[in-house]
Amino acid sequence: MSMLPIQEDKDKILGRKYNVEFLDGRGRPCTLNNTLVNVDNTYFWFSSKEDGLSIIKQDRVTFMYCTDKPKFE
């Protein structure tokens, strides 16, 4: 089962930039700011031309925040 209800909000979630804090393989906190391009039952896939591809296991993510939310008037 996916940790994120991607089927319900796919158009609202993918293709947006996120600040992500996660634990690396040694348990150290790391951060990135990149575009979410795919979510499956295990991983978040982030990609951009500038930063390349990052695949992070969902259970390693400690914090995730969308940085390009639409501005409301």
Distance CA 62, CA 29 (A): 9
Q: pTM of the full predicted structure?
A: 0.79
pLDDT in tens, 3-23: 555 555 666 789 999 999 999
Q: Report how far apart, in Å, the C-alpha atoms of 48 and of each of 15, 21, 36, 56, 60 are.
A: 10, 17, 9, 15, 21
In order along its 73 residues, the chain shows pLDDT tens digits of 445 555 556 667 899 999 999 999 999 999 999 999 999 889 999 998 988 999 999 999 999 999 987 666 5
Q: Which fold does the domain 6-66 belong to in CATH?
A: SH3 type barrels. (2.30.30)
Query: What is the number of alpha carbons within 13 Å of residue 49 lying toward its C-beta?
Result: 0
Distance CA 37, CA 14 (A): 5
Query: What is the number of alpha carbons within 13 Å of residue 40 lying toward its C-beta?
Result: 6
